[in-house]
Amino acid sequence: MSRKSTPSKLLSSLAVGTLCCSAILSAQMQMPACHQMPANTEVTAPEKLPPPQKLTGIGNLHFPISSKNAETQAWFDQGINLVFDFWDYEANRAFEQAIRTDPNCAICHWALSESLGIHNSEVQGYAHDELTKAVALRNKADKREKMYIDAAQAEAGSITGKYASSRNDKHDEDASKTILRQIVHKYPKDITARLLLAEALQDGYDHDTGKARAGTAEMITILQGIMKEKPDDSAANHLWIHAVEASPHPEQAVHSSQILADLAPSSGHMTHMPGHIFYRTGDYERAQVSFDLSTSVDEAYMKTQHVSADDDWNYVHNLMYSIANLLEEGRIAQATEVSAKLTVARGARASTLYPWSTRDAITRLNPLLPLALREGNWQSVERETNTANVPAQFPNLQILATSLTAFAQGMKSVDEKDLDAAQKHSIELDAQLWRAMQKLNEQSEADKKKSDKPADAKPANQVAPTDPNLDAMVKNLAILSLELRAAILIPSGKIPEAEALFTQARKQETDLGYREPPAFIMPVAEQEAVLLTAAGQTESAAKAWQKALEDRPNSGFPLYGLAKIAEKSGDLSKTTEAYTKFITAWKNADLNSPKIEEAKAWLAAHPNTALASSGAVSSHAESLDQRQ
């Protein structure tokens, strides 16, 4: 999640009322019955923020400023490190404190404007005010600082003078990037300018080829240059993880992931970030170390500094990633325990409600839903969506609940071989999808009319919606629709038609883009593999399981599926190898995992072929003994 797209950098808003979750009694715990949302939660104006505490262990970036006040410099350095930790709330506090110690510090107002986020609708009025103050104090800044202020003006679209129409024809880019390039050229030792330019350039990867787009390719070059000069630069190593995690080779950032937590051990997000790379490379055990550490860091911070959930967006983001990671390891019991924290980790604003993420919206219906969806437990999905009590002020969330219910009922009917009922539920799901698409079209037309209106002279803080983003939701529901339609075709022997629908669904899943964690809870390929395996289509199922394994490297779910395919083939050697790989991957799985018990039973029944794999089996047994 880049700094420009952190939740609090994009949206936040007010929500009134209560979102109630059903009381679900699991074997491990009783889930909270309701998610209480505080009413009329407002974002505090920067000047009213409580004085910050001096923080250590947040990074090692230094940004020399022209202020002669040593306290101002110290608070500024704290703030700039926090900016590159994506810790905007504490960065705001630090920069505001810098301003209190030196009210004439122009670059301090610039920094606060940047930290607030000039494009963050919730606080864009505050950000505009701070940039205006920086411009008013511009004559008190040195030459380098003036260029930073000019770049911010250019990004805000309010710059006048020689940069007003500035464009770099070679790169066809806006004036803000041009000015950042000039700072880098004029002040080559200014690492912050290079970092800001790298961030500004990031434009992702081509979905089809996996090749870095031009901006990201240049970002990679910039960051490599910084890390060559300063291998332990905390900000560069952080951005490097973001630069390559969505690439076909996330392992490029393994070294950065190994050192980042030590470079900023007091930052919840910096201790969390290594988990992104370890998750992508299939090292779920190591990823969980990062996610658990981040949880403890954030919880200690919020407790000692009396910070609300809304002011620490990383906390819920880390919990969501932790749950996703635990599921791939077969640690369902711990995933259930972490899920219980979600109701208190979400506040009233979009910074923690994540309305742009359908995966997050699903947990607002019931925190246990991702667990049921990941395991394909359609009865639990149906129960948990049917009993969700969604308030009327969240109509999109209501559509999501109704759609997930129809999908779960349809998939359950397929499992029960009641294809008529499955078809009925498929029609219900498509009807919900059609209504959502109609509503989306109406919203699009309304937005066009709004965009035709002249913009206000002065940006103002705006309320952003906390109901789930309809566009993202429609894209996810469209994939579920394709999956259910394909599932109905397979028992009827219409395999080519079903595979064509799954191909379309996988394409749409890819088009969702890289998300943290993945937007789609169970990979489409895995859903296809489950159904093809049940239908006895072993060759096609094996290919689908392999594709699922590419999506989630070393995940026990596809490894178990491949072991079952091998078992059906009668090849004892391949089956032994497959079950051994599965047991190794799930060495930390739940003590009572039926899949693990089945794998162990098969290997025990075939001692001669299992002999070569006894190390993996005993390793899992030792892990179980330690946890018992």
DSSP state of 48: G
Q: What is the CA radius of gyration of the chain?
A: 26
pLDDT digits (tens, 9 = 90+) for 199-237: 999 999 998 899 999 999 999 999 999 999 999 999 999
Burial class from Cβ neighbours inside 10 Å (0-12, 13-18, 19+) for residue 445 reads exposed
Cα 334 to Cα 315: distance, rounded to the nearest angstrom: 17
The pLDDT of 601-620, averaged and rounded, is 71
Q: Which of the four pLDDT bands, split at 50, 70 and 90, describes residue 145?
A: very high
* CA distances in angstroms from 22 to 30, 386, 468, 504, 540, listed in the order given: 10, 9, 19, 34, 39
Q: Is the dihedral of CA 35, 36, 39, 45 positive or negative?
A: negative
Q: Is the dihedral of CA 22, 345, 114, 116 positive or negative?
A: positive
Q: What average pLDDT does the chain have?
A: 89
Q: Which of 3, 109, 119, 4 is nearest to 46 (CA)?
A: 109
User: Which SS3 state, helix, strand or coil, does residue 109 take?
Assistant: helix
Q: Which domains does the chain have, with CATH numbers?
A: 536-628 (1.25.40)
pLDDT of residue 98: 98
Q: Does the pLDDT at position 6 exceed 60?
A: no
pLDDT of residue 279: 98
Q: Does the pLDDT at position 18 exceed 70?
A: no
Cα 216 to Cα 209: distance, rounded to the nearest angstrom: 14
pLDDT of residue 34: 38
The pLDDT of 244-270, averaged and rounded, is 98
The pLDDT of 19-48, averaged and rounded, is 51
pLDDT of residue 496: 97
Q: Which of the four pLDDT bands, split at 50, 70 and 90, describes residue 461?
A: confident
Structure tokens at 565: 């395919």
Question: 102-139: buried (b, 16+ CB within 10 Å) or exposed (e) per residue?
Answer: beebbbbbbbbbbbbbbebbbbbbbbbbbbbbbbebbe
Cα 449 to Cα 186: distance, rounded to the nearest angstrom: 44
Q: Which of the four pLDDT bands, split at 50, 70 and 90, describes residue 289?
A: very high
Helix %, strand %, coil % for the chain, to 5? 65, 0, 30
Top-confidence residue, 264 or 22: 264
pLDDT of residue 35: 47
Cα 498 to Cα 54: distance, rounded to the nearest angstrom: 60
pLDDT of residue 30: 44
pLDDT of residue 50: 95
pLDDT of residue 608: 80
pLDDT digits (tens, 9 = 90+) for 493-552: 999 999 999 999 999 999 999 999 999 999 999 999 999 999 999 999 999 999 999 999
pLDDT of residue 614: 55
The pLDDT of 117-145, averaged and rounded, is 92
Q: Does the pLDDT at position 172 exceed 60?
A: no
Cβ proximity of 327 and 334 under 8 Å: no
Q: Residue 35: what are its φ and ψ, rounded to 5°?
A: -110, 105
Q: pTM above the 0.85 mark? A: yes
Query: How many other CB atoms are found less than 10 A from the CB of residue 456?
Result: 8
The pLDDT of 558-569, averaged and rounded, is 97
**To which H or E segment does residue 37 belong?**
strand 34-37
DSSP state of 161: S
Give the contacts of 113 (CB within 8 A, at least 6 positions apart): 127, 128, 130, 131, 134, 152
Q: Which of the four pLDDT bands, split at 50, 70 and 90, describes residue 170?
A: very low
The pLDDT of 165-188, averaged and rounded, is 77
pLDDT digits (tens, 9 = 90+) for 307-363: 999 999 999 999 999 999 999 999 999 999 999 999 999 999 999 999 999 999 999
Structure tokens at 582: 């599965």
Q: Which of 255, 257, 286, 251 is nearest to 270 (CA)?
A: 257
Q: Which of the four pLDDT bands, split at 50, 70 and 90, describes residue 269?
A: very high
The pLDDT of 165-177, averaged and rounded, is 60
- Distance in Å from the first CA to the final CA of the chain: 37
Give the contacts of 538 (CB within 8 A, at least 6 positions apart): 532, 565, 568, 569
- Work out the angle at residue 35's Cα, subtended by the Cα atoms of residues 468 and 294, and round it to the nearest 5 degrees: 80
